[in-house]
Amino acid sequence: MILAIIVPMNQSCTNLDEEVFAELTQESFPKSPEQIIALVGAAYTSLYNFGSHNSFVSANTIAGDEMMIPQRGSDWFDGGQWLRMHRHEYNANEESFNNGWNTLYGGIANCNRIIATLEDLVSSGQTDASVAAAFVGELKALRALFYYWLLDMYGNVPVVTGFADAPANPSTMDRADVYAFVRDELIAASADLPQENSSATYGRMNYYAAQALLAKLYLNAEVYSGTSAWTECIAACDNIINSGAGFALEADYFTNFNENNGSSLETIFAIPFDADKAKGFNWPQMTLHYQSQKTFNMAEQPWNGYCSLQEFYNSYDNADLRKGEYGNAAVRGNFIAGPQFAANGDRLEDTQDDGDPNGLPIDFTPEINEHSPNCYRQAGVRVGKFEYVNGNTRDMSNDFPILRYGDILLTKAEAIYRNGGSASEALMLVNMVRQRAGVPDFTDLNDDNLLAERGRELFYENWRRGDLIRFGKYNDEWDFKPVDPSDHVNIFPIPSNQINANPNLTQNAGY
């Protein structure tokens, strides 16, 4: 039911974006709230790149310690981009950096354009200012999300809020100023956004989504601006936790990631993907072995790329319900590990002998023999966090939770811990998450166990790289990656294509 409300909005908005904006007249301006909702939906379309390969999520994920894309013979070399990304040897010419930049600024341009349209509606007297205010607040909060990702990845970026009067070549803004802009936008937008958690606000930036994003921003305030904001982070978390809006931990962790996960009590803001009407979530293609097509009776053969690192996989206790069971496909887990079978029970065998001494029967091993050039085709446990249903196409219908209640509990716990607050309250919040996972309570908190718990809970939710940076671990050694000689890699380079197109951009130090 929720998807039926959201997806038509996105579809109609794609058409509005491509056809109607060029022909807008005073007579054709949307006037009713329903028409404005359809107009606003166009701003969300850039989010559908979130679940696909070779954009900003790929860069974030492979640059952390939770996943990698090894070179498997002739497969996945891709000019060396993913090897460099994993080893922190990336440069300004990487495709994923430029794709991510274009995706995020495309989303910002859509927001700016629709905000300008709404302002014209108000100024011409065709829409009441009080009606438009909530929609403008929603668009500004969504725009802040796009800027948040730019701030996190590229640091020093241009901030553009106009449309018709937008500069052709905007100048770079210092990272601390971008942080302040995103903070102020979210605070201001929150005053106009509905404090509603319902099907009508699902997949949209409402008050609680803005507060959750603000909490995440404050969590990294010291990284972004040089000044911590732990008290503000706690307050933003409390605006959700104490809201009475119905947010709660699901009893089953995987309820959040099922194909039909639109009613999860944890979801604060999600991208409502749909295999037919809102495509772009391609995760099974990206991680599963070619022969896994027979396991799930998939419409297309997977690509055999992304896998987890052995050290990260082993950070889960075997009793952790989030991990799954090695060789037991009947038990859901964040990982698919061990011997693999077709849907009819036959053991899967590879069609190509790549020299693996374990032979052709496919066994997703935690051990990865090498990063390149001849990583075994079956090496590395694969991602099973999101439900893969029988007959999957390349596009999944699982919604992707960008902001989730479990994360807010861990975020508040960390802010309390770092601010010298109540150790018992921080422990209680972390242990709520651990109890659901079926593992013993922590008796105390320290940097190592708090970072590890965030990793286990939030695996493949696009937060790991930022967590590693905040905890001072991003430059450490891990599987197939040496210690970084410089921390300039903590911010990605401004893409060369953008530098070449805009002389007012300044490249980040070290690149």
- Position 83 in a domain: yes
Residues linked to residue 344 through DSSP beta bridges, in sequence order = none
Low-confidence ranges of the chain (pLDDT < 70): 1-31
Under 8 Å between Cβ of 312 and 325? no
- Position 199 in a domain: yes
- Position 479 in a domain: no
Rounded Cα distance, 382 and 125, in Å: 56
Close Cβ partners of 2 (under 8 Å, ≥ 6 residues apart): 199, 202, 203, 262, 263, 272
Close Cβ partners of 502 (under 8 Å, ≥ 6 residues apart): 169, 170
Residue (of 217, 220, 233, 381) closest to 315 by Cα position = 381
Rounded Cα distance, 208 and 333, in Å: 29
* Other CB atoms within 10 A of residue 194 CB: 15
Residue 43 is which amino acid? A
Under 8 Å between Cβ of 417 and 450? yes
State residue 90's pLDDT score: 98
Look at the chain and report how many structural domains it folds into: 1
Under 8 Å between Cβ of 284 and 274? no
Range of the domain at 144: 2-232
State residue 28's pLDDT score: 58
Residue 127 is which amino acid? T
Residue 248 is which amino acid? A
- Position 32 in a domain: yes
Rounded Cα distance, 357 and 344, in Å: 26
Rounded Cα distance, 68 and 405, in Å: 27
* Phi, psi (degrees; rounded to nearest 5) at 510: 95, -10
- Position 23 in a domain: yes
Under 8 Å between Cβ of 410 and 432? no
Q: Read off the CATH number of the domain in which 70 is found.
A: 1.25.40.390
- Position 136 in a domain: yes
Residue (of 308, 355, 315, 358) closest to 335 by Cα position = 308
CA distances from 251 to 40, 312, 434 (A): 34, 24, 12
| The token pair that represents 38 in the structure block | 């359809």
Half-sphere exposure of 446 (CA within 13 A, CB side): 4
| The token pair that represents 507 in the structure block | 């490249």
| The token pair that represents 63 in the structure block | 């640059």
- Position 448 in a domain: no
Under 8 Å between Cβ of 233 and 415? yes
User: If 0-12 CB within 10 Å is exposed, 13-18 middle and 19+ buried, where does residue 15 land?
Assistant: exposed
DSSP letter assigned to residue 18: I
- Position 68 in a domain: yes
State residue 358's pLDDT score: 85
